[in-house]
Amino acid sequence: MADIKELVGCKELHGKIVSPAEAAKLIKPGMTVGTSGFTPSGYPKVVPQALADRAKAEGPVPITLWTGASVGKELDGALVEAGCVTRRFPYQTNEVIRKAINSGKVAYADLHLSHCAQNIRYGFFGKIDVAIIEALRITEDGGIVPTTSVGNSNAFVEMADKVIVEVNTAQPAELDGIHDIYSPKNPPNREAIPIEKVNARVGTTAIPCPPSKIVAVVASDVKDGQRALDPVDEISSKMASNLLDFLSVEVKAGRLPKQLLPLQSGVGNVANAVLVGLDEWPTDGLTVYTEVLQDAVFGLLDKGKVAFASSTALTPSPDGAAKYYPRMKEFRDRIVLRPQEISNNPEVIRRLGIIAMNTAVEVDIYGHVNSTMAGGTKMLNGIGGSGDFARNAYLTAFLCPSESGGGKISKVVPFCSHIDHTEHDVDIIVTEHGVADLRGLSPRERSIEIIKKCAHPDYREALTDYRTRAESAGGHEPHLLAEAFSFHVRLGTQGTMKQ
Amino acid sequence: MADIKELVGCKELHGKIVSPAEAAKLIKPGMTVGTSGFTPSGYPKVVPQALADRAKAEGPVPITLWTGASVGKELDGALVEAGCVTRRFPYQTNEVIRKAINSGKVAYADLHLSHCAQNIRYGFFGKIDVAIIEALRITEDGGIVPTTSVGNSNAFVEMADKVIVEVNTAQPAELDGIHDIYSPKNPPNREAIPIEKVNARVGTTAIPCPPSKIVAVVASDVKDGQRALDPVDEISSKMASNLLDFLSVEVKAGRLPKQLLPLQSGVGNVANAVLVGLDEWPTDGLTVYTEVLQDAVFGLLDKGKVAFASSTALTPSPDGAAKYYPRMKEFRDRIVLRPQEISNNPEVIRRLGIIAMNTAVEVDIYGHVNSTMAGGTKMLNGIGGSGDFARNAYLTAFLCPSESGGGKISKVVPFCSHIDHTEHDVDIIVTEHGVADLRGLSPRERSIEIIKKCAHPDYREALTDYRTRAESAGGHEPHLLAEAFSFHVRLGTQGTMKQ
């Protein structure tokens, strides 16, 4: 490990520099621990790993684990394997913890990412005993400079009894200054969040923290566990071009400016494909107001297609990190990283007029969206920020391929097996077959539009048969409840949704 | 009709004072008409009735009808009966139109009430041809002073080609000055809404309108079609006391101030019962930030229990109107009526930290809520503002009796037959049996809490049987999709949800 003293500006903390194992001893059974980290960037690595190692040797140290969003294998992997995580908030993407959640071993509550910090401050989840925050450095007055994400770190530091800082020398030092930390007060004293443009800076570059609260400082040089992106495939590319064609029509109709409005895009391959597609957008000077910046945004910033990007995390692939992190100096004046309660805040999202583009697990014929659960029961990742953006955006799009599982699963179903976003929150649905524009349509009209424009041709007949028979039975949003889940039940019993 | 010239301050409009029948002639087949009116107060009466009369005599004049929320029989009754309404936004409570919606005769889109005005300005629903606004008077420069509601009137006036004003001499003249009209700009130019306290005044007392846009002024003396409230019954009273006991515990725990935070309460008997219950709250100086003020709030204002109330409509019962409207001068400095895009705005709701209390049609064992549809298919009223408040509140409560239909319907079901509010948006559920506090619980834990605290004892065994068998099958939110709607199917086939 490097000598990190020169990165700890607050001299009184030099005596608190300890080993990961020493720091991990501060975490006791039954504690609630809040860590930095978002999708999965900027999370602490060496203290959680040390805790997992201790637990493996000496027996589990059960804790409630809070993060910003998904984190790496040291937390959701090693700690879960060591039996240390009994309760987990608010989002995850790791296979080890997912299995534990679905078997009921870990109690997981899937929360809107913008709701976390305020509900912790309100005291709704009890107190935070220890915060573990990854930092580039500590300032002279104890301020913690975050690394590749902000997430809920500001709220954890405010509310925790004790703070452990992991100073990570493997993170790009050029990120110093990129963060903008603003914490809203609790009602009745909360004020308007003074962000009226994507590039507004309204806070501090470090998370304020009284030095007395910092109980341990630990050196780390472990990199973020970045995830590779698949190359853009034909289906994703077709979805992206369908969406961008739609946006072009909106511009021509005067319903969107040429430079669009600030873009939000979910995590993963489909989201990345949409942003890659923007490379061909005829106007420069686009803006991004989102929760994660993937490779495509760096590419668009590099070309000047995107003028400014606001987010709570940098989430490049390993290739993207290798390409762009060494050049961070060139980008950092055009990127700001905010707390997730600000990047995902309804107030700011509605004010700026975001174009929200998120991926659906499945959609139903009336426009409800499942974002989280396979077969209505098995948690995949979580709702993340999709609800924050979908509800408050200027225009809300959900994207998914029309089928999956080699054609055995239709992504358009009669009734979503789980609903995260309701018909009230969805403007358009995009698949590789087309775009269903649901604005102003009644449910009966929506079902015709969605089946025609979005469903896979192999499933259109069965979906039309359902909707026609349901309509005969009447009602504003016609259903035959006895067979509303027939597609899913067939998949369970026959291995395919096809009749 | 009274001579309304003295109520029309803008002299150039005196020549445009015409009969309702003359004004109604300005409405042509195929037009989109936006009217004042909210739940059901302050809607135009004589022009719609004249249009309905003409249609009955000469044949239907099909129009798309936009309002603020529910309106009276002249619009959703007479106009629908005359075959004039082909499409309807965004909320209704009238039996005539409800029947037409459920039979598919009227295409109805059920929208979040805070979304309407901005989406009209964005051009998502085409243009507004004619606005019909009920007014107390017109100012010298054409400004329209609303009556008992604001609703979407400001947006309709801004976006309409032509404006018809109904000057209603039967409305309380003392309401003059009570309104606060503020219209947000469209992105990318929108600014922070400068409301940081319930009583903030940030706009004008009249809706600005160029006199040239006003094409007709009509006299009216028809009263709002107020709805009677049922006396508070035992079940409602028990729900209210369960909720208020819960709030007392939150105050003791330091999670709410003694004077609470601004209260929002839905429409109807249960909501009224909760507010009546606040009469016993130990602290004066409560505040209300909501969309409708029913009788109970006037009572609380009268006693000083409530210091200030903000809303978009006054919705007294006939008894309440008789009692309080003549005394409006005493109240008007402590009431403000805002556009519904402001009364229901996520930005303001989250900032002020509202306590949201709304009624559910049914809830499921995992905390999803149906607010709109009987049996998943038949529209009752609409989502109204429940989503605006539930998603953004400090604390979100949904209330319903544990059963209805003389015990044949359980309001707690395995899977909601329609979902308007998801598990991510619901903090507590209240029935006459108790309060389920869902904050921080996993779905499996929530189901135990909801069945134990909220379900009717007659249904607890069947619900527990479902959840136990579903849990054996596994998953984060265990379900047996083949029988998720078995309660509803049984009600359809056997006339009861009971086994």
Give the residue-averaged pLDDT of B64-73: 97
How many residue contacts between A and B have a Cβ separation below 8 Å? 236
Q: Return the pLDDT at A271.
A: 85
Sign of CA dihedral B419, B424, B428, B433: positive
> B-chain residues within 8 Å CB-CB of A383?
424
- How far apart, in whole angstroms, are the C-alpha atoms of residue B393 and residue B397? 9
Q: Catalytic residue positions of B?
A: 291
Torsion of CA B444, B450, B452, B453, to 10 degrees: 150
- How far apart, in whole angstroms, are the C-alpha atoms of residue B186 and residue A350? 10
- How far apart, in whole angstroms, are the C-alpha atoms of residue B68 and residue B91? 8
> B-chain residues within 8 Å CB-CB of A184?
351
DSSP assignment string, B295-329: HHHHHHHHHTSEEEEEESEE---HHHHHHHGGGHH
> B-chain residues within 8 Å CB-CB of A112?
391, 424-425
Write out residues 207-266 of A within 8 Å (CB-CB) of B: 253-255, 257, 261-262
> B-chain residues within 8 Å CB-CB of A262?
188
Give the residue-averaged pLDDT of B188-207: 98
Burial of A15: CB neighbours in 10 Å, binned 0-12, 13-18, 19+: exposed
Q: Which amino acid, one-letter code, is at A455?
A: A
Residues 6+ apart with CB under 8 A from B87: A440, A442, B64, B65, B106, B107, B108, B109
Tell me whether strands B144-146 and B214-220 are parallel, antiparallel or unpaired. Answer: unpaired
- State the pLDDT confidence band at B270, using cuts at 50, 70 and 90: confident
Q: Do B377 and A476 touch (CB under 8 A)?
A: yes
Sign of CA dihedral A194, A196, A197, A198: positive
pLDDT tens for residues B366-383?
999 999 999 999 999 999
Domains and CATH numbers, chain B: 4-220 (3.40.1080.10), 234-497 (3.40.1080.10)
Q: Measured between CB atoms, does A353 come within 8 Å of chain B?
A: yes
Q: Return the pLDDT at B2.
A: 66
Q: Return the pLDDT at A378.
A: 98
Residue of A111, A123, A353 with shortest CB distance to B424: A111
Q: Is the pLDDT confidence value at B82 over 80? A: yes
Q: Return the pLDDT at B486.
A: 98
* Chain B: closest CA distance from residue A476 (Å): 4
Q: Do A481 and B376 touch (CB under 8 A)?
A: yes
Q: Which residue of A lies nearest to B351 if distances are taken between CA atoms?
A: A190
Q: Is the pLDDT confidence value at B232 over 90? A: no
> A-chain residues within 8 Å CB-CB of B254?
123
Q: To the nearest whole percent, how much of chain A has pLDDT over 70?
A: 100
Q: Measured between CB atoms, does A495 come within 8 Å of chain B?
A: no
Q: Do A191 and B196 touch (CB under 8 A)?
A: yes
Q: Do A492 and B475 touch (CB under 8 A)?
A: no
Residue of A193, A422, A444 with shortest CB distance to B419: A422
Q: Measured between CB atoms, does A379 come within 8 Å of chain B?
A: yes
CA angle B176, B180, B183 (to 5 degrees): 135
- How far apart, in whole angstroms, are the C-alpha atoms of residue B316 and residue B323? 9
Q: Which residue of B lies nearest to A354 if distances are taken between CA atoms?
A: B187
Mutate to test the interface with A, among B182, B377, B425, B468 (most CBs of A within 10 A): B377
* Chain B: closest CA distance from residue A25 (Å): 26
Q: Measured between CB atoms, does B181 come within 8 Å of chain A?
A: no
* Chain B: closest CA distance from residue A374 (Å): 9
Q: Measured between CB atoms, does B466 come within 8 Å of chain A?
A: no
Which residues share a beta bridge with B132?
Answer: B35, B164
> A-chain residues within 8 Å CB-CB of B373?
475-477
Reduced to 3 states (helix: H, G, I; strand: E, B; else coil), residue B125 is coil
Residue-averaged pLDDT of chain B: 97
Q: Where are the beta strands (DSSP E) in B50-209?
A: 63-66, 85-89, 107-108, 128-138, 144-146, 160-168
Q: Do A187 and B261 touch (CB under 8 A)?
A: yes
Tell me whether strands A144-146 and A128-138 are parallel, antiparallel or unpaired. Answer: antiparallel
Q: Where are the beta strands (DSSP E) in A400-433?
A: 403-404, 409-410, 412-413, 428-431
As for the ipTM of the complex, it is 0.97
Q: Which residue of A lies nearest to B121 if distances are taken between CA atoms?
A: A255
Report cis status (omega within 30 of 0) of the bond before A318: no
Q: Do B347 and A347 touch (CB under 8 A)?
A: yes
* Chain B: closest CA distance from residue A486 (Å): 7
Q: Measured between CB atoms, does A471 come within 8 Å of chain B?
A: yes
Q: Structure tokens of A352?
A: 């700026």
* Chain B: closest CA distance from residue A309 (Å): 15
Q: Catalytic residue positions of A?
A: 291
Tell me whether strands A32-35 and A63-66 are parallel, antiparallel or unpaired. Answer: parallel
pLDDT tens for residues B434-479?
999 999 999 999 999 999 999 999 999 999 999 999 999 999 999 9
Q: Where are the beta strands (DSSP E) in A306-372?
A: 306-311, 313-314, 335-337, 355-359, 362-364, 369-370
Tell me whether strands B395-399 and B355-359 are parallel, antiparallel or unpaired. Answer: parallel
Q: Return the pLDDT at A99.
A: 98
Give the residue-averaged pLDDT of B268-294: 92
Q: Do A379 and B353 touch (CB under 8 A)?
A: no
Q: Do B476 and A351 touch (CB under 8 A)?
A: no
Residue of B187, B352, B394 with shortest CB distance to A351: B187
Tell me whether strands A263-265 and A355-359 are parallel, antiparallel or unpaired. Answer: parallel
- How far apart, in whole angstroms, are the C-alpha atoms of residue A65 and residue B217? 64
Write out residues 311-350 of A within 8 Å (CB-CB) of B: 345-347, 350
- State the pLDDT confidence band at B1, using cuts at 50, 70 and 90: low
Burial of A234: CB neighbours in 10 Å, binned 0-12, 13-18, 19+: exposed
Give the residue-averaged pLDDT of B138-166: 98
Mutate to test the interface with A, among B190, B193, B289, B481 (most CBs of A within 10 A): B481
Residue of B89, B192, B255 with shortest CB distance to A196: B192
Q: Do B377 and A479 touch (CB under 8 A)?
A: yes
Which residues in chain A show pLDDT less than 50?
none
Q: Do A187 and B352 touch (CB under 8 A)?
A: yes
Enter the pTM of the model. 0.98
* Chain A: closest CA distance from residue B376 (Å): 7
> B-chain residues within 8 Å CB-CB of A190?
196, 350-353
Residue-averaged pLDDT of chain A: 97
Q: Which residue of A lies nearest to B114 if distances are taken between CA atoms?
A: A392
Which residues share a beta bridge with B293?
Answer: B314
- How far apart, in whole angstroms, are the C-alpha atoms of residue A323 and residue A293? 14
Q: Return the pLDDT at A266.
A: 86
Give the residue-averaged pLDDT of B130-144: 98
Largest CA distance in chain B: 76
Residue of B118, B188, B197 with shortest CB distance to A352: B188
Q: Return the pLDDT at A268.
A: 80
Q: Measured between CB atoms, does A123 come within 8 Å of chain B?
A: yes
Q: Measured between CB atoms, does B422 come within 8 Å of chain A?
A: yes
Residue of A102, A387, A478 with shortest CB distance to B424: A387
- How far apart, in whole angstroms, are the C-alpha atoms of residue A281 and residue A307? 13
Q: Do A191 and B191 touch (CB under 8 A)?
A: no
Q: Do A477 and B379 touch (CB under 8 A)?
A: yes
Residue of B187, B346, B377 with shortest CB distance to A347: B346
> A-chain residues within 8 Å CB-CB of B473?
377
Give the residue-averaged pLDDT of B77-94: 97
Q: Do A353 and B187 touch (CB under 8 A)?
A: yes
